[in-house]
């Protein structure tokens, strides 16, 4: 897949004002935290949680590791800050944006899928999605935190959409929770593939991928349960 911004290409020390000698030591208490979370976001996505070295995060933000520890107690605290700043903020914005949505369930679903792509999937935040999907087993507290703050709320958005579609007759009565899983899976894979080079999804653009997913979905949701889909004598 021709991934757009090339994760990892983000810039290092963020903003040196014009007169700054870039090598000089500067005191910039206010700017440090966001510069550090930005650097961490990029590297977490690129390498994963475990493989990201805090020396590298600090260097990318233009400070030393000691400085990092002035602002964040631990690697995990740094990760939480990244999630709060990016994921939680984006989710809140999406809830806001969609709360008053008036269109059909299909349109709402379309908004969710492509909105996710715009706000999360194509941004460096997708790296966090991948990180959680891949490493949660090794970092249970991180996973628990993420589940509470992000996953629950994300699923709720999809659930509302599907329930609305089923209630209006626009979608057939599929099992909602399972459908949420199936709908989310390609999004997660898209995030994962962006940061785990050349696995699946390398053949097409994210946009084509999402459009195909969406088309399969609306037709599937409209038709599911209508006909006996399981072929007659099929058994593995």
Partner DNA sequence: TATATTACTGACTCAGGAGTCAGTAATATA
Partner DNA sequence: TATATTACTGACTCCTGAGTCAGTAATATA
Q: Which residues bind DNA (CB under 7 A)?
A: 24-29, 32, 52-55, 58, 62-67, 69-70, 74-76
The stretch among 10-18, 31-39, 40-48, 161-169 that binds a copy of itself (CB under 8 A) is: 40-48
For the chain, first and last CA: distance in Å?
Answer: 32
Burial per residue of 157-196, b for 16 or more beta-carbon CB atoms within 10 angstroms, e otherwise: bbebbbebbbeeebbeebebeebbeebbebbbbbbbbbbe
The smaller minimum CB distance to a copy of itself, of residues 32 and 80, is found at 80
The stretch among 53-61, 62-70, 82-90, 101-109 that binds a copy of itself (CB under 8 A) is: 101-109
The smaller minimum CB distance to a copy of itself, of residues 82 and 142, is found at 142
Q: What token pair was written down for 202?
A: 């390398």
Asked if 24 interacts with a copy of itself (CB under 8 A), we say: no
The stretch among 23-31, 65-73, 81-89, 143-151 that binds a copy of itself (CB under 8 A) is: 143-151
The length of the chain in residues reads 236
Asked if 102 interacts with a copy of itself (CB under 8 A), we say: no
Asked if 221 interacts with a copy of itself (CB under 8 A), we say: yes
Choice from 3, 28, 47, 153 touching a copy of itself (CB under 8 A): 47
At closest approach, how far in Å is the CB of 57 from DNA?
Answer: 8
At closest approach, how far in Å is the CB of 23 from DNA?
Answer: 10
Long-range contacts formed by 195-200: CB under 8 A, 24+ apart: 195/7, 195/45, 195/46, 195/126, 195/127, 195/130, 196/130
Choice from 54, 59, 166, 174 touching a copy of itself (CB under 8 A): 174
Positions in 198-217 near a copy of itself (CB under 8 A): 198-201, 203-204, 208-209, 211-217
**Binding partner selected for residue 236 from a copy of itself, DNA, none, CB under the kind-specific 5 to 8 Å limit:** a copy of itself
Asked if 95 interacts with a copy of itself (CB under 8 A), we say: no
Which has the closest alpha carbon to 131: 43, 22, 30?
43
Contact 204, 1 (CB under 8 A): yes
- For residue 122, give every residue at least 6 positions away whose Cβ sits within 8 Å of its Cβ, in sequence order, or none: 4, 5, 206
Angle between helices 152-167 and 105-116 (to 10 degrees): 160
């Amino acid at each position: 897949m021709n991934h757009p911004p090339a994760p990892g290409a983000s810039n290092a020390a963020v903003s040196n004002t014009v007169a700054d000698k870039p090598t000089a030591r500067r005191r910039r208490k206010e700017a440090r935290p966001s510069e550090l979370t930005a650097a961490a976001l990029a590297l977490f996505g690129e390498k994963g949680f475990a493989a990201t070295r805090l020396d590298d995060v600090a260097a990318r933000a233009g400070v030393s590791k000691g400085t990092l520890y002035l602002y964040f107690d631990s690697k995990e605290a740094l990760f939480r800050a990244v999630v709060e700043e990016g994921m939680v903020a984006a989710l809140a914005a999406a809830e806001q944006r969609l709360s008053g949505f008036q269109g059909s369930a299909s349109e709402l679903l379309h908004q969710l899928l492509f909105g996710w792509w715009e706000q999360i999937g194509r941004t460096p935040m997708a790296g966090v999605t991948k990180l959680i999907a891949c490493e949660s087993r090794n970092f249970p507290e991180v996973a628990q935190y993420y589940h509470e703050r992000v996953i629950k709320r994300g699923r709720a958005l999809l659930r509302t959409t599907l329930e609305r579609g089923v209630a209006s007759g626009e979608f057939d009565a599929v099992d909602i929770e399972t459908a949420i899983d199936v709908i989310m899976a390609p999004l997660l894979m898209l995030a994962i593939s962006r940061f785990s080079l050349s696995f699946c999804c390398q053949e097409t653009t994210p946009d084509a991928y999402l459009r195909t997913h969406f088309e399969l979905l609306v037709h599937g949701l409209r038709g599911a349960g209508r006909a006996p889909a399981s072929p007659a004598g099929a058994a593995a």
